[in-house]
Chains A and B, each alone.
Chain A
Amino acid sequence: MAQTAGNSSYPTAPPLRPSGGGGESPLLLRGIAKSFGAVQALSSVDLDLPAGKVTALLGDNGAGKSTLVKLISGIFAPDEGSIIWEGEPVRLRTPKEASELGIATVYQDLALCDNLDVVQNMFLGREIVRSGVMDEAEMETVASRTLEDLSVTTLSSTRQLVASLSGGQRQAVAVAKAVMARARLVVFDEPTAALGVSQTAMVLDLISRLADAGMAVMVISHNLNDVFRVADRLAVLYLGQIAAEGPISGFDPANVVDLITTGKSARLAPSQPGMEAAGKEEEQP
């Protein structure tokens, strides 16, 4: 039976492993299934997320990507299968349990409070408190150092309200928040969907840097350009099942589009309706 995550001794801030390590996977998914009423969103999904690698998860709308992200980040639990964190089966019942284990999810819009400043957002839920009073100076120092370590240089001040930040800057703040929480696995949900060219470059750069620092990174994206720039590994979901998984070298944009739209990797010409956006990618060399 799965061990609950609420028991004795998960560390609030697991130490960062030395960088560069590949291979070892902090998170393994085995036989995951989830349905909503009559809709089978995921069935028998196996997935490894190795440390030091960027794993991209691709799939068409409704393929089950968001469901998978929500299972990993503790929004809801799978019906079947196990989530194995550092060798131990765990049950993630709340987002807090996931983040306490070291799983951070960076959402496009949902994760930041516009009315709070950068420091306040980075420490939200884990404020530094001395005898009942928040230590703002200490939090600001730590937040600034974390942003510097990530080479986030586009913020003019850590006391800016998040409302005044651009999309890329907001992503950077969300990433810094995950790093500061000593995350071992960072999940990005459509990190570049609303970003311009230079901001996209900044965020992709940041994603690579996390993997270089030894974290496991998962990126959910629709944008094949971004995926091929940043990912080390690819997994394609098709109708709730993993259609293909492996190192990026085994894929090219054309067969990935086939996998996304048909679930098969043969180079057929699948001109079904509803695949216009992907079809454009296919024409690229």
Chain B
Amino acid sequence: MISAPPGASESEANEVASPVPSSLSGFLRQWARRARSGESGVLPVLGGLILIVVIFQVQSPVFLSPANLTNLLVQGAVFVLLGMAEVFVLLLGEIDLSIGFVAGIGGGVAAILLASPYNLPWWAALGAGLVATAAIGAVQGTLVTRLGLPSFVVTLAGLLGWEGVLITMIDHSPSASGGVVRISNNVVNDLVNGNLSPLAGWIGMILVVSAYALATLGGEQKRRKRGLSALPWSIAMLKVGITALAGVVLVLICNTNRGHFVSLRGVPWVVPIVLAVFAGWTFLLGRTRFGRYVYAIGGNAEAARRAGINLLRVRTIAFTLSGLTAGAGGIIYASRLGSMSVGIDGGTLVLYAVAAAVIGGTSLFGGRGKALHAVLGGLVIATVYNGMGLLGMGAASQYMVTALVLVAAVTVDAFARRSRN
């Protein structure tokens, strides 16, 4: 017979740290413990980003100039958006190799509809581009979920097929010349190339930071009131403080005059656009049932099924949202260039998208990831891309360095996964 009393297993409670520490030192101790078990959060990628920035600044003193940093943000926007598109699919434990050219379709549809003979208003053209890419996502998602085809193969077919569709589309467009459709609509071009006025930048930043502070501190206050464990005030204030500091630095940099002959200042419109998408997807994944089910399916699809979750629906919606986000990335890409061309390198873009998500901390094995990871990973890639450009290193070196960073990130992911099991 078993003689141990039922209470004997209570001692094992001490093996596992409380997830919500009550003090700053407790927080640090617990972070170290989590890092060892593969739950290190975003600090490693932030550290890596700072390291890369320091290296480039030492090599090239203009790297940290306001003009270059603003340029870097604009370059990063496409990587961040495509990375967020990839996060949806990676969370399910799937992969999407097609989003580079799906983005191309989004930008292409918008550009063609803006030009003659269609001359649609900007909102209708952008809407059509987004609807097209969402539909592509839905179709690919349906093939993966309903027919049970591997997402790798379906989206690899997409990688080839959508490039073909894009070329056909642009070739048959009356407004195209030499495989390029120019965008002459000011609103669309200003999505990336226009700036908020310096005052609007400050006001917007203060609003965003206040909303974040309210949500964070209010949420903790609510938990405290109900007697649930809450973050210590010092940590909560630190989070808000760091966000506010980042906001101030961002607006300061962007509001510095970066023009040579004419004054050029202000936060580029693309920054609030990317922030809005980021906030929307963070909310969707973190606070709604749909988001919870995406994580559940990525973690243990069988458990999700037994909990009564409609796997087909959730998966298809996730693929659709991924397509939608890729379309937004494509529109930003087209806006930045002021045109859409058949030469868009969708193959490289999709690899940067996967790299952005994984470098930021999203797992390739499903169930772990956040929109924030794509933001941070996208910034890392933009930094490498931008810095190596400044140093006069060509595409060859950029590919190799990005590949090394990606392999390093995947290695960390794989080791973290191993130590969890």
| Chain A residues near B (Cβ < 8 Å) | 73, 94-96, 99-100, 105, 107, 110-117, 120, 124-127, 129, 132-134, 137, 140-141, 144, 153-157, 159-161, 163-166, 168-169, 197-202, 204-205, 225, 229
Contact = CB atoms under 8 A, between A and B. Distances in A.
Interface string B272-302: 0000000000000001110010011011101
Contacts of A159: 19-20, 229
Given A100-B308, A110-B300, A140-B223, 11 more contacts: A126-B307, A134-B292, A154-B13, A159-B20, A161-B19, A164-B16, A201-B4, A201-B6, A202-B9, A205-B6, A225-B2
B226 interface: yes
A100 B8 CA distance: 35
A113 B303 contact: yes
A205 B2 CA distance: 12
Contacts of B2: 197, 200-201, 204, 225, 229
Nearest to A74: B306
A198 B10 CA distance: 9
Contacts of B302: 110
A156 B9 CA distance: 12
A116 B19 CA distance: 13
Nearest to A99: B308
B1 interface: yes
A157 to B, nearest CB: 5
Contacts of A105: 306
A154 B9 contact: yes
A162 to B, nearest CB: 9
B9 A125 contact: no
Interface residues of B, number: 44
B366 to A, nearest CB: 8
A157 B18 contact: yes
Contact of B226 (A96, A111, A137, A199): A137
Contact of B17 (A126, A137, A156): A156
A229 B3 CA distance: 11
Contact of B306 (A110, A154, A204): A110
A95 B305 contact: yes
A276 B160 CA distance: 58
A134 B285 CA distance: 11
Given A111-B303, A199-B9, A201-B8, A141 B296 contact: no
Nearest to B9: A198
A157 B20 contact: yes
Interface in B1-39: 1-2, 4-10, 12-14, 16-20, 37, 39
A225 B1 CA distance: 7
Chain B CB within 10 Å — which of A125, A156, A197, A225 has the most?
A125
B6 A114 contact: no
Contact of A110 (B37, B298, B303, B309): B303
B1 to A, nearest CB: 7
B42 to A, nearest CB: 17
Given A110-B300, A114-B299, A120 B292 contact: yes
Nearest to B223: A137
Contacts of A134: 287-289, 292
Contacts of B12: 154, 166, 169
Contacts of A144: 228
A197 B5 CA distance: 10
15 contacts: A94-B308, A95-B306, A113-B295, A117-B19, A124-B304, A125-B307, A126-B307, A137-B228, A154-B12, A164-B16, A169-B12, A198-B4, A198-B5, A204-B2, A229-B1
Nearest to B19: A159
B420 interface: yes
Q: List the 8 closest pairs (A to B, CB-CB), nearest first.
A: A125-B307, A96-B308, A113-B299, A115-B299, A115-B367, A198-B8, A124-B307, A198-B9
